[in-house]
Amino acid sequence: MTTNTAAQRSQNLPKRRPESVGECPAKRKASWGILTSQGSWADRSPLHEAASQGRLLSLKTLLSQGYNVDTLTIDQVTPLHEACLGDHVGCARILLEAGANVNATTIDGMTPLFNACSRGSAACAELLLQYGAKAQWESCLPSPTHEAASRGHSECLEVLISWGIDVDQDLPHLGTPLYVACVSQQIHCIRKLLYAGANVQKGKHLQTPLHAAAQHSSTEIVNLLLEFGADINAKNSDFERPVDLAAPSSLVERLLLFHEVQVIDLEEESTTTFLSTDNQG
């Protein structure tokens, strides 16, 4: 009885009209934003797939068929975002030559340049900058410079520096690139930033790069910062000096205490010399 009822219901359901061979591709293209100037709201288009996998021929074919170069996913990710995240320079170049928006931002504020720096693709970063990518934003959008510094991508950082970025860009939630690099213990990026003129004292609010280095027990980074004139007596919002954040009896603590003694000796020597000269006068 139940079987017969189910069979009858299935017979009464309207049958879907089969689409002709010619209209299927057209409908698919429309769903991916074909011939639209604003991009589409598809989840993942064939163009995204080709760009993310570095398939140059497929990408060229799809573009020649009229697929929108700036097709968007739900999260506003473009094929150029995908190409840069995958370090596919050839695909990125094809998309840019086809007119891709070099400064497109996702709903999270990520640009293709941010993706390139996140991946460590210096070649993609250079290409994007040549096509007018904005290296730094005044707003609190995700920063390519901070991303490269935190991940240790010194080559990307070098590219950004060569394009004249502000190496002391201070973001409220992150601090400076130097501070971020110290937190992540990225010695090569720290060195790049310092030699590019980064302020050794600027960190996150009152927390200096030396505070971060001391807290993470990195003697190499502490030494480097001290060489560039980091203030061992700088205090954070809790009135703590870098030595106060170092692990007890650690190499970093001993290094900072030793340097502190040297500074005191130097100050005393300078004072003595000054008084002696003054008395002679």
- Cα 98 to chain centroid, rounded: 25
Q: Which of 134, 161, 182 represents a domain boundary (last residue)?
A: 134
Instruction: Report d(CA 190, CA 179) in Å as an integer.
Output: 9
Q: Please name the residue that has the structure tokens 């302020």.
A: 199
Angle value at C-alpha 190, between 185 and 193, nearest 5 degrees: 155
Mean pLDDT, the chain cut into blocks of 10 residues (281 residues total): 45 40 40 39 83 98 97 95 98 99 96 98 99 90 95 98 97 96 98 98 97 94 97 96 95 92 57 50 53
Same domain (yes/no): 117, 165: no
* pLDDT value of residue 34: 37
Same domain, 183 and 107: no
Q: Are residues 117 and 147 in the same domain?
A: no
Q: Please count the structural domains in the chain.
A: 2
Q: Are residues 234 and 152 in the same domain?
A: yes
Residues 41 and 123 placed together within one structural domain of the fold: yes
What's the pLDDT score for residue 38? 39
pLDDT for 264: 56
Per-residue model confidence (pLDDT) at position 186: 98
Nearest to 116 by CA among 150, 84, 145, 79: 84
**Whether residues 194 and 236 fall in one domain:** yes
| 108 within some domain | yes
Give a yes or no: residue 11 inside a domain. Answer: no
Tokens at 97, concatenated: 């030559």
Distance CA 90, CA 103 (A): 18
Report CA-CA distances (Å) from 45 to 109, 118, 180, 265: 21, 23, 35, 67
Specify if 3 maps to a domain.
Answer: no
Residue 19 in domain: no
- The candidate with the shortest Cα–Cα distance to 31, out of 67, 82, 1, is 67
- Structural domain containing residue 187: 137-265
> Would you say residue 12 lies in a domain?
no
Phi, psi (degrees; rounded to nearest 5) at 29: -60, -40
Same domain, 121 and 55: yes
**What is the distance between the alpha carbons of residues 241 and 214, in angstroms, rounded to a whole number?**
9
Residue 61 sits in the same domain as residue 146: no
- Give the per-residue pLDDT at 66: 95
Report the alpha-carbon distance of residue 114 to residue 120 in Å, rounded: 10
pLDDT attached to residue 160: 98
> Residue 238, Cα to own-chain centre: how many angstroms?
29
Of 134, 161, 191, which residue sits at a domain end? 134
* Last-in-domain residue among 134, 156, 175: 134
The pTM of the full predicted model, rounded to 2 decimals, is: 0.80
What confidence score (pLDDT) does residue 70 get?
Answer: 97
* pLDDT at residue 44, rounded to an integer: 85
Matching residue, tokens 């002709």: 20
Are residues 69 and 81 located together in one domain of the fold?
yes
13 in a structural domain: no
CATH, residue 205: 1.25.40.20
Nearest to 44 by CA among 69, 88, 74, 66: 74
> What is the predicted pLDDT for the residue at 277?
52
Looking at the structure, tell me whether residues 147 and 123 fall in a common domain: no
**Calpha distance 195→225 (Å, rounded):** 11
Confirm whether 277 is domain-assigned.
Answer: no
Query: Of 169, 189, 257, 174, whose CA–CA distance to 219 is shortest?
Result: 257
Task: State residue 281's pLDDT score.
Answer: 53
